Amino acid sequence: MDFLQPRSWADALAARAERPDAVPIAGGTDLMVDLNFDRRRPGALLDLGRVAELREWSVGDGAGGGRTVRLGAGVPYARIVDELGDRLPGLAMAARTVGSPQIRVRGTVGGNLGSASPAGDAHPPLLAVGAVIEVESAARGARRIPAADFYTGVKRSALAEDELIAAVLLPEAAGPQQFCKVGTRNAMVIAVSAFACALHPDRKAVGTGIGSAAPTPRRAPEAEEFLAGELDSAGLWDSRGELPETLARAFGERVAAAASPIDDVRGSAAYRRHSLSVMARRSVLWAWTQYQHDLRKAA
């Protein structure tokens, strides 16, 4: 096994192109487990830890007049919690639930995407805000893949063999965002099921992301359209009146219907569906309460 340690993004892309048998490693929190247990023996490790560009984030103008955060693929979860809680509240909440302190200082969103496990904690909030994944190869340059198109199967993604994940582009939050995750304890949990929601009052839209309850992380588009439509027709986006419990419940049922979970060691399909409906109902009520509170703060 070889150990490749590029010092720049260009060198990393060149190494990726040259060595299709190399496996990229960032925080190592997933890959090293496979190496330790001899489940995987790649021809080379491509260590991205020395590529400074990957560990940076910046804010720029986004589509539609908003601001966009460009989050380097190698920014560890601990820094997302510390530095981006205001701009990316949903992702920061999810980041807080990742593993343990030791895992959060190492693990990265790029790693979560590279592994593309349906249980990855970062995926639901990326889906809920319509994040875009920026990938790049030495041969074809950069391209952008919407998160919803990135996940193609269990631990499979749209990433080509010669590509690396450069960054994730996320709109700065225009409204409240929430994240929930079910597991057996508060730390060190692989999600039994997870859910993220985002209110986008600027375009009167609702975003969702489901984790651990389908072959890939996925949105619940019908639930999104249903809730946004109901809020609109009741004039609630403008009045910021109470969100009826019945509406939140109906939203939760639609979120659960969007999942296609399986029975496994962590939980049954029925439990995953049920927990999703509960998480969706609760989290949207939390988000709505925040939305009402935001107005009082602004007033």
Shortest distance in whole angstroms from residue 9 CB to other proteins:
18
CB of residue 151 to other proteins, shortest distance in Å: 23
DSSP 203: G
Rounded Cα distance between 115 and 111, Å, is 6
Between 97 and 275, name the residue whose CB sits nearer to other proteins.
Answer: 97
Give the type of residue at 260: S
Tokens (6 digits) for 172: 């700065």
Nearest to 96 by CA among 72, 76, 126: 76
Instruction: List contacts with other proteins (CB under 8 A).
Output: 1-3, 5, 25, 27-29, 32-33, 35-37, 41, 44-45, 47, 49, 78, 99-103, 105-106, 186-188
Least distance (Å) from other proteins to the CB of residue 188?
6
CB of 30 to other proteins, least distance (A): 9
Rounded Cα distance, 296 and 227, in Å? 23
φ, ψ (nearest 5 deg) of residue 194: -145, 155
Q: Are 279 and 182 in contact (CB under 8 A)?
A: yes
Comparing CB distances to other proteins, the nearer of 160 and 187 is 187
Of residues 5 and 137, the one with the C-beta less far from other proteins:
5
Q: For other proteins, give the closer residue by CB, 76 or 171.
A: 76
Q: Which is nearer to other proteins, 17 or 105 (CB)?
A: 105
Report the nearest approach of other proteins to the CB of residue 229 (Å). Answer: 40
Burial 116-149 (b: 16+ CB within 10 A, else e): bbbbbbbbbbbbbbbbbbbbbbbeeeeeebebbe
